[in-house]
Structure 1
Amino acid sequence: MLNPTPFFIHSLTALSAILAKAEDWQTAKTLKPEVIPNLRLTADMLPFWRQIAIACDHAKGAGARLAGVDVPVYADAEGTLTDLRARVASTLAFLQSLPADAFDGADALTITVKAGPRELSFPAAQYLHGYAVPNFYFHMTTAYAILRSNGLEIGKRDFLGG
């Protein structure tokens, strides 16, 4: 059975804890609320807030598609760390709402997603393991790297979660 929710839930819970540390750091450094969400690892990469949004999109998208339900749509309007924590919380709540039996038969599905102007189709296992999970961790790792490179004291244990 292809049920990705336990893994996404674990990692999103760790991400929520990292965001809480970032909020404390923001307060200690007296940074304006819009500073951290707009940080980038490099000029041609997406900002921190977008990295979080895309990680959440891949997690909820994989859960929904493999469970055969509609993918929730979020506004992509997160301008503060509080907004980002709310997005992670919404994604967690959605994933936690999916019953395990919703994934019965997911192995036999063909998953089609839009990627920019292209439409990509995959057998379910290839979609999960070769597209959704790698994209989720790419964006989660990039978000972690943005915070770490700007001085937030977080490490591997924070990323991996409890």
Structure 2
Amino acid sequence: MNIDMYSASIPVFDRFLTNLSGLLGKAEAHAESQDIAATKYVVSRLYADMAPLSSNVQFACDTARRCAARLAGEEPGSEADDEATLDELRVRIRRTRDYLAGVDADRIRGTEDRTVLLETPMVTMEFTGHDYLLNFALPNFFFHVSISHGILRQQGVPIGKLNYMGAA
């Protein structure tokens, strides 16, 4: 069975980035209502050796943007990872969503067999577009969105699964 690579990527990324922005908004409201510095959340981690909330939001945004670029046959750009407030993280999400909104669906559709190279200083991985999207990009994206949710929940922000899913 073939999948529509566009429908399986861009709208999914956009929806969960919208949800993630909503989680950050709930965190900001909670911090204000509890007289907590909202920056506490930005640097919070689930465990000492794990990345903080800021990095997880940045990684989620980067994964979505880079996936769209790679599937479209473009070179993925990069952004400075310098967000220090919840509002700045929401701005980064907005920029990512704006980028995704500008991706031509026809550049993504039909990329199941496109070769996608993921090069790092330590390893080069080669995927088909299909395998890259379904077995690398989407799981990586959802990992970072889920960890972001978990960090906020651990810090006492009153959110749950419906917030993660975007239904509340």
* 3-state secondary structure, aligned to 1:121: strand
Say if 2:10 and 2:68, in contact at 8 Å, map to a contact too: yes
Cα RMSD, aligned residues only: 1.3
2:133 aligned partner, one-letter code: L
User: 152, 156, 159: which is aligned to 2:161?
Assistant: 156
Shift of 1:102: 1.4
1:104 aligned partner, one-letter code: R
2:35 aligned partner, one-letter code: T
When structure 1 is superposed on structure 2, of 110-119 and 75-84 the one drifting more is 110-119
Deviations 1:56-112 (A, max 9, x none): 111111111111223232111011101100111111110111121111331221111
**Who is 2:137 aligned against?**
132
1:65 aligned onto 2:66? no
1:6 aligned partner, one-letter code: P
**TM score, norm. by length of structure 2:** 0.91
**Who is 1:2 aligned against?**
5
User: 43, 53, 59: which is aligned to 2:48?
Assistant: 43
Q: Which runs of 4+ in 1 moved over 3 A?
A: none
Unaligned 5+ runs, structure 1: none
Q: Percent identity?
A: 35
Count of residue pairs the alignment pairs up: 162
The 1-side partners of 2:50 and 2:88 are apart by 21
Say if 2:41 and 2:155, in contact at 8 Å, map to a contact too: no
More helix by share: 1
User: 29, 32, 39: which is aligned to 1:27?
Assistant: 32
Unaligned 5+ runs, structure 2: none
**Who is 1:105 aligned against?**
110
Shift of 1:29: 2.5
The 1-side partners of 2:93 and 2:153 are apart by 19
1:65 aligned partner, one-letter code: R
